[in-house]
Amino acid sequence: MTKRISLTQYLIEQQRLHGHIPSQLRLLIEVVARACKRISISVNKGALGDVLGTAGSENVQGEVQKKLDIIANEVLIEANEWGGALAAMASEEMEGIYVVPNRYPQGEYLLLFDPLDGSSNIDVNVSIGTIFSVLKKPDGGHGVSEGDFLQPGDQQAAAGYCVYGPQTTLVLTVGDGVAMFTLDREQGSWVLTADDVQIPADTKEFAINMSNMRHWAPPVKQYIDECLAGKTGPRGKDFNMRWIASMVADVHRILTRGGVFMYPWDQREPEKAGKLRLMYEANPMSFLIEQAGGASTNGHERIMGLQPAKLHERVSVVLGSKNEVDRVTQYHLNAKS
Ligand code: AHM
Ligand code: MG
101 secondary structure, DSSP code = P
Does residue 168's CB lie within 6 angstroms of at least one atom of ligand 1?
no
Burial class of residue 324 (count of CB atoms within 10 Å of its CB; 0-12, 13-18, 19+): buried
In whole angstroms, what is the distance from residue 164 CA to residue 166 CA? 7
Gap from CA of 252 to ligand 1 centroid (Å) = 15
Nearest CA owner, ligand 1 atom 6: 118
The pLDDT value given to residue 301: 97
In whole angstroms, what is the distance from residue 178 CA to residue 157 CA? 13
Average pLDDT over every residue of 267-289: 97
Query: pLDDT tens across 303-330, in order?
Result: 999 999 999 999 999 999 999 999 999 9
Phi, psi of 323, deg, nearest 5: -65, -35
Gap from CA of 9 to ligand 1 centroid (Å) = 34
The pLDDT value given to residue 177: 95
Split at pLDDT 50, 70, 90, the class of 198 is: very high
Q: Which of these CATH numbers, 3.40.190.80, 3.40.720.10, 3.20.20.70, 3.40.50.300, describes 205-336? A: 3.40.190.80
Average pLDDT over every residue of 207-229: 98
Query: pLDDT tens across 153-186, in order?
Result: 999 999 999 999 999 999 999 999 999 999 999 9
Does residue 246's CB lie within 6 angstroms of at least one atom of ligand 1?
yes
The pLDDT value given to residue 19: 76
Does residue 93's CB lie within 6 angstroms of at least one atom of ligand 1?
no
In whole angstroms, what is the distance from residue 171 CA to residue 183 CA? 11
Better pLDDT: 276 or 57: 276
The sign of the CA dihedral 39, 44, 45, 51 is positive
Split at pLDDT 50, 70, 90, the class of 1 is: low
- Residue spans of the domains in the chain: they are 7-194, 205-336
- Kindly identify the ligand whose nearest atom is closest to the C-alpha of 59: 1
Nearest CA owner, ligand 1 atom 4: 118
pLDDT surpassing 90 at residue 89 = yes
Split at pLDDT 50, 70, 90, the class of 203 is: very high
Split at pLDDT 50, 70, 90, the class of 52 is: confident
What percent of the chain is helix, strand and coil (3-state, nearest 5)?
A: 35, 25, 40
Q: Which of 143-147, 223-227, 258-262 has the lowest mean pLDDT?
A: 143-147
Split at pLDDT 50, 70, 90, the class of 31 is: very high
In whole angstroms, what is the distance from residue 173 CA to residue 197 CA? 10
The pLDDT value given to residue 72: 95
Does residue 130's CB lie within 6 angstroms of at least one atom of ligand 1?
no
Average pLDDT over every residue of 126-144: 92
93 secondary structure, DSSP code = T
Does residue 245's CB lie within 6 angstroms of at least one atom of ligand 1?
yes
Better pLDDT: 190 or 140: 190
Query: What one-letter code names the amino acid at 70?
Result: I
**According to CATH, what is the number of the domain 7-194?**
3.30.540.10
Which atom of ligand 1 is found nearest the CA of 128? 9
In whole angstroms, what is the distance from residue 207 CA to residue 216 CA? 14
Query: What one-letter code names the amino acid at 15?
Result: Q
DSSP codes, 155-169: G-SEEEEEEESSSEE
